[in-house]
Structure 1
Amino acid sequence: MLYSFDAPAPDGDFPDPAPSGGDFLARYLARIGYAGPVAPTLDTLAALQAAHQAAIPFEAMDALTGEGVDIDPQAIAAKLIDRHRGGYCFEQNGLFLRVLQAIGFAAEGLLGRVRWMLPADAPATGRTHMVVRVTIGGRPWLVDVGFGATVPPQPLALDDAMPQPTRHETYRVRPLDAGYRVEADIAGTWQTLYDIEAAPAPAIDFEIGNWYTSTHPASHFRHQLIAARTTAEARHGLRDNRLTIRHVGGNIEQRYLSADEIEAALADIFLLTPEPGWRRAIERAATAEIAG
């Protein structure tokens, strides 16, 4: 079955957010440049997801620089809304979950294990990825605004294992014994993104997953500069000094950047204002040798 959501995300300039003391939902909608209907419907969900991904970039600079990542709801709102920063899954999907619940959606957070770019027989990874499950009219949908350059760009039906085309890749969700496996068709091959547990996770499990992701020496966010942004026209990904732009239609641009060019890309492509404390990490990223 095909699922089509004609909800192109706004691109380019976004309105300034309302003052930080204002209403949370109004501040968020201003942040993502969304002025459409706000009702707990599938069309609204898809439109908000697209606008969020285009406006709020995926990034993990605070983990890379050792600043730490605070996933308290107020800290997330202050960072992603008021300071115009981005974040990774616990921040992005934590914010989106709070927004959806404020609108009136039946939404809950789920935890899963990332399998992206791993062989099929690789050992289990930690429970370090957060997504959101939304139930509309009795039907469950997976929504994710925090999985970097391969993030699903629209809601995925959790009760249908058939391929689900999107503006970018085609996805499918296969049932597991206690959850779901989310896959994407990459150049004609199904690649696993992550396995998600069906049972909602308690808050402490998100805290533990975030602590590991932001502080453990094995976390790639502690060693690589990573940023991503998905719009209706293209996916933009930065991994250390390698910038990749995958346009809708298949055209791919890729180039390697100097430190100054990385800083410029963070501002111009990923809509971030580079902070002075980032410069050392940016200079390290500019000398990285990336395999693959």
Structure 2
Amino acid sequence: MNSFLKQFEGHDISFILKRFAELFPFENLDVLNGYEQKITSEFLKEKLIDHQRGGLCYELNALLFLTLKKLGFDVQLATGTVKNEGVWAIDDTHATVLLQRDGHLCLVESGFGNRLPFSPLLLDGESASSPAGTFRFRTVTTEKGTLAMEQLVNDEWIVRYGFSPEPMEWSNLTKMKETIHYHEQSTFTQAPVIAGITDGGTFSIARDRLRLKWPDGSEKIVTFENDYDFLNEVTRYCSPSIVKETKLYLNAAFRDGQKKLK
């Protein structure tokens, strides 16, 4: 962990957030492959740092929290609820990080798919942009709390997740993981999701397609003819450890009688 921290010493939080986005893609292979380890600092170090994996919010933002805390920042974990296409997801299944800076509350994010601002978002302050888009942190009362992370989409601000400022206990991360693994409404149990940020835009890989997006709103979708195409793109964008876990998932799918996508 100490060698991992050295790369961030002397840098501001924006550098750390950008570096996290480069190092750790958003991916749900542990869910699909049935890994059930508790969320501990040792687990995060082994999975994300030593094995160069990605993860979901309760892993990526947990590691971000530990990193910032060890670097001397005043941070806390918080739990929120995601909103997709106007519909709220399972309650309290998004872990995020709040930062107190110069007497002000900020949101820092490393575990929200590829929708990642590269700067702390000041509560009710200016928006911030990255290759993923433009984001802001607002006092907004929703069914899920009094705070919200919003994204500018087609000239309209939409809520991406809502939450309250109360600190979340570390033990809730493992409970959140269990919910994602077993809840009947979990969106992460059916198929692989791998997403990240490139130098010029974002990528997301599903089993049937690759989607590339750029800040100007343009995008490119490449449809896969079979799982070899899928695996080739995972290999192109991800670490060998993620490729290995993808192969394990595909082998299990074949054993279960699933057909390759045509």
Q: Structure 2-normalised TM-score?
A: 0.86
Q: For the Cα contact (< 8 Å) 1:69–1:214, is it kept in 2?
A: no
Partner of 2:90: 125
1:27 aligns with 2:1: no
Decide which of 212, 218, 221 is 1:245's aligned counterpart. Answer: 212
Distance in 2, matches of 1:145 and 1:282, equals 30
AA at the equivalent of 1:84: Q
Please show how residues 250-265 of structure 1 align to structure 2 within 5 Å.
Answer: 250-257=217-224, 258-265=226-233
Partner of 1:274: 244
Q: Structure 1-normalised TM-score?
A: 0.78
Once the two structures are TM-superposed, the CA of residue 148 in structure 1 deviates from its matched residue by 0.7
AA at the equivalent of 1:227: I
AA at the equivalent of 1:175: T
How has the CA–CA distance of structure 1 residues 268 and 282 changed in structure 2, closer, same or farther, with 3 Å as cutoff?
Answer: farther
Partner of 1:170: 134
Partner of 1:154: 119
Q: For the Cα contact (< 8 Å) 1:244–1:252, is it kept in 2?
A: yes
Q: Note the aligned Cα RMSD (angstroms).
A: 2.3
Q: Give SS of 1:100's match.
A: helix
Q: For the Cα contact (< 8 Å) 2:14–2:119, is it kept in 1?
A: yes
Q: Deviations over 1:195-217 (max 9, x none)?
A: 02111111233222221012223
Distance in 1, matches of 2:201 and 2:151, equals 16
How has the CA–CA distance of structure 1 residues 28 and 214 changed in structure 2, closer, same or farther, with 3 Å as cutoff?
Answer: farther
AA at the equivalent of 1:169: G
Distance in 2, matches of 1:184 and 1:232, equals 20
Please show how residues 36-185 of structure 1 align to structure 2 within 5 Å.
Answer: 38-39=9-10, 44-68=12-36, 70-119=38-87, 125-160=90-125, 163-177=127-141, 178-185=145-152
Question: Unaligned regions of 5+ residues in structure 2, if any?
Answer: none
Question: Unaligned regions of 5+ residues in structure 1, if any?
Answer: 1-23, 30-34
Identity among equivalent pairs (%): 22
Distance in 2, matches of 1:46 and 1:190, equals 23
Partner of 1:7: none
Once the two structures are TM-superposed, the CA of residue 116 in structure 1 deviates from its matched residue by 2.2
Q: Give SS of 2:96's match.
A: strand
Q: Deviations over 1:133-191 (max 9, x none)?
A: 1112212211111111223333211242x544444412222213553111111233322
Q: How many residues align?
A: 252
